[in-house]
Amino acid sequence: MRLTILGSSGSVPAPGNPASGYLLSAPGAPSLLMDMGPGVLAHLQEIQDPNDAHVAFSHLHTDHCADFASLLVWRRFHPTASAPGRNLCFGPTDTPNRLGRLSADDPEGIDDMEDTFAFAPWVSGQPELVDKFTVTPFSVVHPIQAFAMRVEEHGSGATLAYSGDSAYTEALIEAARDVDVFLCEATWGPSCEDKIPGMHICGQDAGRIAAAAGVKKLIVTHIPPWADKEATVAAAARFYDGPIELGVPGMQIDL
């Protein structure tokens, strides 16, 4: 599979870097787009037909899902290339309601995505078959329902895990066990000291989790514009001695 980072900025978009969007593609099948923060649709247009992707949400904070409303407009109303059929959408239980409110015309209304996406809610630990991939969600710790995802490509056996947003939890180690690539958030920057509990992790935690899980490569991501990216990667490197990279938009990794 090929990972393309469409956006890696944490909590809010940054100049030249959309908020969370991670595209997994494999030949001969629709891609899998994990999260769709502000700016992701613009970058996706440069990479592929935006209609040719299933969408999987880690959780429904704005920085992970706001561009879904724009994707619905593209799929329904593009004058020459609207979506030819339904794709799959996975996410927390209340995804259709929350995202339906985002694009409803009426203030009390809910825009029903069923015409263009077939939605199924994540059940923690229950694998979902998504064309060339099997995706297993893992319930994690965040102020709203949130999931990490473990993705395995059929045939090649390549594996990738994505933390989504989470405070420290053993579930992240389980999700990332022995994967080829671990995309791990580090919102708090280098250290979690004096940070709000129950929300996020830091570079040190990302390194600890990557080491405990035995991942083959760590990509540190979801760092806000106000945090020190190099120091965050360096903090992770103190606890994990494998290869580490900073997640940046346009980065592509074949695995």
Binding site for Zn ion (CB under 5 A): 61, 63, 165
The CA distance from 7 to 5, in Å, is: 6
Take residue 43 and report the two structure tokens written for it: 């970058």
CB of 12 to Zn ion, least distance (A): 9
Return the number of the residue (61 or 208) whose C-beta is nearest Zn ion: 61
Return the number of the residue (158 or 186) whose C-beta is nearest Zn ion: 186
Distances 202 to 137, 232, 233 between C-alpha atoms, Å: 21, 7, 10
Return the number of the residue (30 or 92) whose C-beta is nearest Zn ion: 92
Return the number of the residue (32 or 140) whose C-beta is nearest Zn ion: 140
Burial of 89 (0-12, 13-18, 19+ CB in 10 A): buried
CB of 203 to Zn ion, least distance (A): 16
Nearest to 203 by CA among 175, 223, 182: 223
CB of 210 to Zn ion, least distance (A): 19
CB of 87 to Zn ion, least distance (A): 23
> What are the residue ranges of helices labelled H in 24-157?
40-47, 62-65, 68-77, 95-102
Return the number of the residue (88 or 186) whose C-beta is nearest Zn ion: 186
Residue type, 117: F
Kindly compute the dihedral angle of the four CA atoms of residues 95, 20, 147, 116, in this order, to the nearest 10 degrees: 30
